[in-house]
Amino acid sequence: MPPTMGAAMGFMILVATIVHAALLSKHALIWSLIAGTAGGLALAILYASLSSGKMGLAAPVPGVLSAAIPAVATMFREGSPGAPRLIGFALAALGVSLTCRSDDKTERRVLGMAILAGCGFAAYALAIRQAGAGSAMWIEVHSRAAALFVTAAITVYGRKLGDFRRSANLWGVAVGLVDVSGSVAFVRATQLGRLDTVAVLASLHPAVTVLLAMVLLKDKLTPWKAVGVCAALIAVPLIAS
């Protein structure tokens, strides 16, 4: 995790410097660090829950909660987004649940960790929203810095360090660059629109992963995953309406 985050953070610092992005206010800086801390903890907890091998609900729960909590919070603050979007939210939740569905049974401890991870990702989204209208790139840089510190500390404390292959590091850098681009887009989207819409649409990434696996890796869709992908595809135009 740390090599990937480090590469992503370095790339964003370079880009932000080149384009002369305005530095953050104290308010935006604090909320960016809070967001990164929450996101880093959530990521570590999620990986710990998935590493148990007993995924069951451990995979879909964080995806649903990371969208549902910000959506509910936004509705309380800004009102209902309208019937079409509410239907889209419901279909999106169904789509995420089914595309992440596993036949493994979930132990209670693992499920509890998955719930904590989902709450952490939701806290990340809410904190990013509170960061305000500062530079999306600098918001993401500071968020990544906090997440990098958290995950590195957990890795060292847990003595999870090992020998990394060069090819694995190169893939980690590539993944980090793609990931940070998506994160900056997420930050910018929260500045331009309603958080509930942004969070729910962003939560549909498992459906995209399943489709890419089907096209590139020739994976076969299970009936449940096929229904989940269809629900996600129907949800997108409803939410975007």
Question: What tens digit of pLDDT does each residue of 83-133 get?
Answer: 999 999 999 988 888 887 766 665 677 778 888 999 999 999 999 999 998
Model-level pTM? 0.85
The three-state secondary structure class of 186 is helix
Report the C-alpha gap between 136 and 121 in whole angstroms. 18
Tokens coding 26: 């104290």
Region 48-77: mean pLDDT is 80
Is the pLDDT confidence value at 162 over 60?
no
pLDDT (0 to 100) of residue 56: 60
Q: Which residue has the tokens 């530079």?
A: 135
Token representation of residue 194 = 């309603």
List Cα–Cα distances, 137 to 44, 127, 146, 166, in angstroms. 23, 15, 14, 28
- Nearest C-alpha neighbor of 174 from the set 3, 41, 36: 3
Residues 168, 3: Cα–Cα separation, whole Å: 10
Q: Which of 12, 46, 11 is nearest to 187 (CA)?
A: 12
The helix (run of H) or strand (run of E) holding residue 233 is helix 223-240
Q: Is the pLDDT at 2 greater than 60, yes or no?
A: no
* Top-confidence residue, 50 or 55: 50
d(CA 189, CA 195): 8
With bands split at pLDDT 50, 70 and 90, how would you rate the model's confidence at 52? low
Task: Judge whether 96 and 207 are in contact, CB under 8 Å.
Answer: yes
What is the token pair recorded at 122? 């939701």
HSE, side-chain direction, 13 A CA sphere, residue 119: 6
Q: How far apart are CA 78 and CA 61, in angstroms?
A: 25
How many Cβ atoms from other residues are within 10 Å of residue 233's Cβ? 14
Are 62 and 121 contacting, i.e. CB atoms less than 8 angstroms apart? yes
- Please give the biggest Cα pair distance in the chain: 52
Q: Which residue has the higher pLDDT, 127 or 154?
A: 127
Domain coordinates in residue numbering, the chain = 2-240
Which DSSP string corresponds to 29-56? Answer: HHHHHHHHHHHHHHHHHHHHHHTTS--T
Q: Are 146 and 38 in contact (CB under 8 A)?
A: no
Under the banding of pLDDT at 50, 70 and 90, the label for residue 57 is low
